Structure 1
């Protein structure tokens, strides 16, 4: 068979393209919702962080999860919560924001190593001299359980923060915006900013990422010749 494998590869490419567009559209829509309901979004993120901390404590107590790894996860979520102190504004050079990004990678790597290791031999295997290294597969977590733990306790809060927080470079000049932009708003009438600054809008990081990717695709499409400038504006 020659044609069917090519059709399979083409289907994978088309499916991946549709999946990427769906994720980008979802990120864009969620960013707009957060921009309209910042108070509700902050409240939900706060409760989500402390709810996951409670889940991790229960996993240590009842399911005997590793104590130090769980403690690292709890401390990481406390660091994530510190990014909400000026919600939804975040300065990309803020040490706490940089530390949060590093902790996401460390948690993912350590928990992946933990679930990749084979479980320790069960107590019944210690009494079985014929198979002293027998593994109790009943105590091994299933793929759905591992994926659910990663989705809820490792990735959910960083992903929600990525969708909710706004980069400091896009903040309107107002009271308290010095933290995000690093500039002080002038009070005099003679020091007014240009009209373009008045049209700037607080834009979420996920929304800015989607816009940048779209602009990059438009520019490269014009260079390659897929469409003209007027067609790119309607893209």
Structure 2
């Protein structure tokens, strides 16, 4: 491990070189707890990371969490950082970190909406450094949802699972488990797809299907059994 971590530009370049994206930075004293002096939030944004995952593993059988650790844990060691993952137990407070870093707001769908990447991102890891790192400042310009008057995300779900009152998970899961849910299973969540923010980072069709299958399997439904 190096005596001191590299600068922010070198860290971000190495993260992007592994097909991940830097989603935000935090410093000790930013009002949230973490071990160390600086923290960088890492995730996927757009289709790049999934493309690499699918080229190295079989998405039908291999877990993305295992692959993520295999890729990012050695990188953390290389950079002199300690890696934490959303699937660690106890679960690190990634969304709390994201809010404090100006890296997102709660969208009407309940998902985090990033100021640059919209809904087309997910947190995969955080690197915690014992040394403070000077990094680009983030200006929180507010949620893009606040300037979206029509809120098409709330009017697109075929079973009305998303409303201003919250997300009806059972209604969503029941629809996905029915023959009528085939467009959502193959094309992705229609409510999420309706968001007009950051469309240039829209997921690939294979990535969309992968996440929908994972969502269903987490609720005990095998998509292959739906007639």
Taking structure 1 as the reference length, the TM-score comes to 0.23
Structure with greater proportional strand content: 2
Structure with greater proportional helix content: 1
Taking structure 2 as the reference length, the TM-score comes to 0.24
> Which structure has the larger Rg over C-alpha atoms?
1
